[in-house]
Structure 1
């Protein structure tokens, strides 16, 4: 699966260059996203603007990946979902489980807020 990677100051924007994410791509998604947890900049914004369809298995995989990021003190935000994809995720009752924003800019704001939260929590524990 081809993706575009754009690195910002506090996060990476990963944009799949496909119109559909099928269940057979689950391993590929893991191999693309999970290595960022080993980077200095761990936070990931998954830009889904080009994805028009995805299998329920992939949506569930993204929820699992999101949980792994948060367990490792990193942010994972999906953004730019089209109406059809958003409706599909809502119908599957998965939309509310994903951290989703309308734009990359808003996803970046979420990442920055969560970074500040983590810094404040770290300082609370060190006192």
Structure 2
């Protein structure tokens, strides 16, 4: 799967260059998310601005990322989804499970705020 990746100490931003995340690409995405967790990524932002379509395999990859990072008290945030993906997430009720924000900047701000709050505890 091809994507741009921005890495820093606080988060990784993954921006798929693919228009769809389906049964062909989802297994690679799942493996990559687990690799990034092992590599030491604290938080992941999935910027889906280029993704037009996602099937159940793509949703499964999002859930793997969410579970992988939540288990270590980190964030997995999805942003810039289109109306098709939003409807799929609503129908499957995954919009209540996943952190979904409108923009990349809001996702970054959310992670920074979470990290500040963790530091205060």
The number of residue pairs the alignment matches comes to 121
State the shift of 1:40 in Å.
4.3
**Structure 2 CA distance, aligned partners of 1:84 and 1:26?**
18
Q: Which residue in 2 is equivalent to 1:28?
A: 28
- The alignment partner of 1:10 has SS state of coil
Structure 2: distance between partners of 1:54 and 1:44: 18
Aligned residue in 1 for 2:49? 49
Which stretches of structure 1, 4 residues or more, deviate above 6 A after TM superposition?
none
* Residue deviations 1:31-83 (CA, integer Å, cap 9, x gap): 22222223344211000011111112321331232121011132110000011
Gaps of 5+ in 1: 122-127
Q: 5+ residue gaps in structure 2?
A: none
State the partner residue of 2:5: 5
d(CA) in 2 for partners of 1:39, 1:32:
10
User: 1:103 is matched with which residue?
Assistant: 103
Deviates more, 1:29-38 or 1:100-109: 29-38
Structure 1 residues 41, 92: closer, same or farther in 2, change over 3 A? Answer: closer
- Of the structure 1 ranges 50-59 and 60-69, higher mean CA displacement relative to structure 2 is found in 60-69
Aligned mates of 1:12, 1:88 — CA distance in 2 = 25
Supply the RMSD in Å over aligned alpha carbons: 1.7
Equivalent residue, structure 1, for 2:74: 74
Q: Distance in 1 between matches of 2:20 and 2:56?
A: 12
Q: TM-score, normalised by structure 1?
A: 0.84
More helix by percentage: 1
